[in-house]
Structure 1
């Protein structure tokens, strides 16, 4: 959404690269809910459209919409479309989403690169108020915790309650419990969990209103299908949900999501950790995979922490290569 595509090449972020492939494998398990070629995909393509390539190549989705807030570089975004079937809509997500066909089965990836803001709740509600059973929603957002020193500088009129004041501003009073405990929110995991809890509360509230006019069988529920924390220089989080009717609830068991080692439906995230390895180091370790036992390696070359992190996600580990045309 923000024009961070001018600063970051989204193709080359290793943790994001791993997350993207994990999300692909999550989606491939959701086939009991329908044929993906009949879905549409709505996301934020930036000028790289990496997620759009994934959705088209692996899921066969043809109807795709990219929401782009940067309307000053329209020609560049249109030029960089990898496929003709991508329709770029210019404007803020809160302006564009209400005008789209949200009554069609859709995979949404609201890949925000900015710190969490109230409008993200509004985007989520806009989708959930109208999306049919079988729709999938991923929300990615910057979950870098606020530093106490920065909050003290921002709120000079108070002596304590700095996180409460900030969270009331960012999330709204309705998400702040009466006995709110300020301790621990400079910790990235605690802050990420708090945001996840707010998203769950927003979903429950929106679906409660939607279900008022529906029968018990038609009523809509949601199921968390992923929760990732990762960092490519700044802390990020992604929470994924599936929206399903109670009539379709039995289909979720057919997906066997629990077979994916990174699957979580709790408030405990799967943290994607990526060791910084050279190409030669990567090849050495890859040739020894899969391995449940201890790998024999030179401790003067490899740190044990890096080896263990590689073992955890070796199937998804990215391989970036430079091609020199000179």
Structure 2
């Protein structure tokens, strides 16, 4: 995917999203142990997500799916955890042989992350649908999609907004085909928000179709995140396959409804927006976070600078920083135990 060559700690929103995903899996593990789960993903050159789930959750049955030869060669070279099976295949081929792959690892269930960046939404969501159909109760699926409106159509200089939105609507409808839920969408919604809504309605549709032949299997959206990653507007969705009779127990053991990042329905998403701060700004804010026990209003009142053009936006930006502080790459880099000996000095400009 685009961005593979950029390490996670230089993509702060993506970094935070991945940390939150691990926290979600930790919650799911309170309902069902993940020891015998296969973790399969489009891991990129660094296989950072496989390393993280191994360290945080103890998952040992790990697989990366990669179609690009040179990226696959880098995976083999980098190999952050012994035993990751790096397969040079298309994600669609993995999905088509999902049961075979699980059996080859001797696993009962799987966690699969289809991490896409290129805008091929219809194909990618259909691929998710095929995966969901193959999944069993207890399996977890995650998909990351590019939802930037500019990937549908680039607005022309001087083009009127209503004309632009009409073109986007028509092009998106043609692109999504039968996955486009026209009754729930209109021309005036054609922005990043509208593309996200169209994608979620399509995901809801394929999830419903995937469970239609099995009255016991139900797909529950656990977390829907949106964030900017370099020039891309991304959305990532995590689903779990549940037997309907297990839903009450799942909610009770995971306590997912009390989790701040839980998505209560198919159109409730959480936006990750980690602000870029200087070392001096971050040091000052961190001292105020400690002094004022994360009270954002008090912190903001005691800052001699602002983070946006008006008070309201500045407060929102500060709130985003405080909320995501514990998940940020700066916390990771500041902990020297997580860096190789002597490496901290190379990251000093981030700390």
TM over 0.5: yes
> Would you say 1:173 and 2:178 are equivalent positions?
yes
**Regions of 4+ moved over 6 Å:** none
Tell me what 1:223 maps to. 220
Match of 1:140 among 144, 156, 162: 144
**8 Å contact 1:137–1:242 — kept in the other structure?**
yes
**8 Å contact 1:32–1:251 — kept in the other structure?**
no
Tell me what 2:14 maps to. 16
Match of 1:291 among 278, 294, 302: 294
> Would you say 1:232 and 2:229 are equivalent positions?
yes
| RMSD value, Cα | 2.7
Distance in structure 2 (CA, Å) of the matches to 1:124 and 1:162 = 27
**8 Å contact 1:227–1:265 — kept in the other structure?**
no
Alpha carbons of structure 1 residues 298 and 57: separation in structure 2 relative to 1, 3 Å: same
Tell me what 2:274 maps to. 274
1:122 Cα offset (Å)? 2.9
Aligned residue for 2:187, secondary structure, equals coil
Aligned residue for 1:222, secondary structure, equals strand
**8 Å contact 1:257–1:263 — kept in the other structure?**
yes
Tell me what 2:204 maps to. 200
Q: TM-score, normalised by structure 2?
A: 0.80
Specify every segment of 5 or more residues in structure 2 that has no aligned partner in the other structure, as ranges: 158-162, 309-313, 335-343
> Would you say 1:262 and 2:273 are equivalent positions?
no
Offset from partner CA, 1:172-216 (integer Å, 9 cap, x none): 13424268522221x2122212211110111101211x31xxxx5
Offset from partner CA, 1:157-179 (integer Å, 9 cap, x none): x9995334322332113424268
Q: How does 1:1-326 map to 2 (within 5 A)?
A: 2=1, 4-6=3-5, 8-100=6-98, 101-102=101-102, 104-146=108-150, 150=154, 162-177=167-182, 181-185=186-190, 187-208=191-212, 210-211=213-214, 216=215, 219-233=216-230, 234-253=232-251, 254-266=253-265, 267-289=267-289, 290-292=293-295, 293-295=297-299, 296-300=301-305, 304-305=314-315, 306-319=317-330, 320=333, 323-324=345-346
Distance in structure 2 (CA, Å) of the matches to 1:302 and 1:137 = 36
Distance in structure 1 (CA, Å) of the matches to 2:109 and 2:40 = 11
Distance in structure 1 (CA, Å) of the matches to 2:71 and 2:329 = 30
1:91 Cα offset (Å)? 1.9
Offset from partner CA, 1:212-262 (integer Å, 9 cap, x none): xxxx5xx10011100111113221111111111123222221211122212
Distance in structure 2 (CA, Å) of the matches to 1:180 and 1:264 = 21
**8 Å contact 1:144–1:188 — kept in the other structure?**
yes
Distance in structure 1 (CA, Å) of the matches to 2:36 and 2:184 = 47
Aligned residue for 1:237, secondary structure, equals strand
Distance in structure 1 (CA, Å) of the matches to 2:58 and 2:77 = 22
Distance in structure 2 (CA, Å) of the matches to 1:38 and 1:170 = 39
Distance in structure 1 (CA, Å) of the matches to 2:70 and 2:276 = 36
Distance in structure 2 (CA, Å) of the matches to 1:271 and 1:22 = 12
Distance in structure 2 (CA, Å) of the matches to 1:277 and 1:301 = 11
